[in-house]
Amino acid sequence: MTFHHPQVTELNHSLARHHLSRLRSVGTRPYEFRQHVRVLSTLLAAEVTRELAVRPVQVQTPLEKMTCHELGGRFAAVPILRAGLGMVAPLSDLIPDLEVWHLGLYRDEETALPVHYYDKLPQENPPDVAVVLDPMLATGGSACMAIQSLKRWRVPRIQMLSIISTPEGIQRVISESPEIRIFTCAVDRGLNEKKYIVPGLGDAGDRIFNT
């Protein structure tokens, strides 16, 4: 069943459903898992970049000169280490001048709270658009922490890409930052007692990096 919220885009795409099925399977091997992550991230990237600002340019075709359009402004991907790294390549393929800034966050397994351990974001000259990358939007704690870092950097437009999300995580992000747009392939049932997404796909970072 599709999740409805004006700030959430849940992909309704046959390819997304196909690759999600393979991604969820416990029998999918790490190199196959990484490929499915890449395909799903490409589909999400096509959505999040749909309305990026463009500027007119004059182009000489083999027959005549015409006005075309190219991307305008600066666009940044902000993967949450480590699992978010698996989502960077599709954005890099689509946007040649993509900036990539890393945020290191991990979940304390006893408290299920995020721990912030790495942040090299500069203090000035923010990009026009920044997209937080995290395969799993579970409790929303890490996402909110990342978004706050980007707000301190004064990024004017912040969006999020997540392959699988939960209603709880979405609600937390939007309640703290109602201007954020979330793009996801699926919104799952929710969280279990250990704060893992169910039915989910397990630990995305472990499956991407075979650890």
User: Annotated catalytic residue: which of 22, 107, 119, 128?
Assistant: 107
Catalytic residue among 17, 29, 111, 152: 111
The residue from 29, 55, 154, 206 that is catalytic is 206
**What are the backbone dihedrals phi and psi of residue 168, each rounded to the nearest 5 degrees, phi first?**
-65, -45
Nearby residues of 121 by Cβ (< 8 Å), 6 or more positions away: 101, 103, 149, 150, 152, 153
- Kindly list the distances between the CA atom of residue 195 and the CA atoms of 4, 66, 69, 139, in Å, as whole numbers in the listed order: 22, 55, 45, 7
State how far the Cα of 37 lies from the Cα of 33, in Å rounded to an integer: 6
Q: Which two tokens stand for residue 203?
A: 């630990």
Residue 107 appears among annotated catalytic residues:
yes
**206 among known catalytic residues:** yes
The verdict on whether 111 is a catalytic residue reads: yes
Q: Which residues are tagged catalytic?
A: 107, 111, 203, 206
